[in-house]
Amino acid sequence: MHRRLETTLLTILPLPASLAVLTSLWAVFFWVPTERFQGIVQRIFYYHVPSAWVCFVAFIAAAIASILYLATSRSVWDRTARASVEVGMLFASLVLITGPIWARPIWGAYWTWDARLTTTLILWLIFAGYLMLRAYTRDQEMASRLAAVVAIVGSLDIPLIVFSTRIWRTIHPAVLKTADGESGLTDAAMISTLMICLAAFTLMSIWIWTLRWSGLRLEEEVTRLEGAAAAS
């Protein structure tokens, strides 16, 4: 079943993901209007927010898979968690790169220890520790179990990031929903462009995740075959 789903996803995802990414590029650079106050730099928002969305979903998926792995000890859940963390780290890194690029002309500084920025950096560091734990622990079964705990604990930082602009006084803009409960996107084209970019990043992340999951499965099979050959 897993092999069939893997093959199906790898067959059908490349075309729609590629088309969605190309459409998002057209929408961001040629269609959506320039924001009145921030100017052209605001267009990075359409990649910054989808990157955050994908990394949150990936890390939550890793936490759920980790819980299932601890409950069942099945390698498929460990593989799912690891692939999800690697995808999440890719997009979390994009968040931390695009954010300062956006911040420099608006805030006058690449980085401030704003609550949302700081909690996002903490999330990145936690899951960087997850990858280091998996890379440098010799006992792979122990590494998988310890990493599962790290993924579960690390995912608890996500609600803090999401609600940080409401919990603490922060200079980070609430673009999607202002303090008055209204949308920060005033033009229908802005909302449409954001939706296109969200779809593009989601499809691309699923494609990348499937490729990584497939690679991890092949690594497991090679290790198993090598062990069988050594024992015979």
Domains of the chain, residue spans: 17-31+39-175+185-217
Conformational region of residue 34, where left means phi above 0, alpha means psi within -120 to 50, and beta covers everything else: beta
Per-residue pLDDT of the chain (232 residues; tens, 9 = 90+): 677 888 888 889 999 999 999 999 999 999 999 888 888 888 999 999 999 999 999 999 999 999 999 999 999 999 999 999 999 999 999 999 999 998 888 888 888 888 889 999 999 999 999 999 999 988 889 999 999 999 999 999 999 998 877 777 766 666 555 555 555 566 788 889 999 999 999 999 999 999 999 999 998 888 788 777 777 6
Q: How far apart are CA 72 and CA 169, in angstroms?
A: 42
- Asked if residue 65 lies in contact with residue 84, where contact means CB atoms within 8 angstroms, the answer is yes
Non-local (6+) Cβ contacts of 187 within 8 A are: 32, 33
**How many other β-carbons are positioned within 10 Å of the β-carbon of residue 211?**
17
pTM: 0.91
Q: How far apart are CA 47 and CA 95, in angstroms?
A: 8
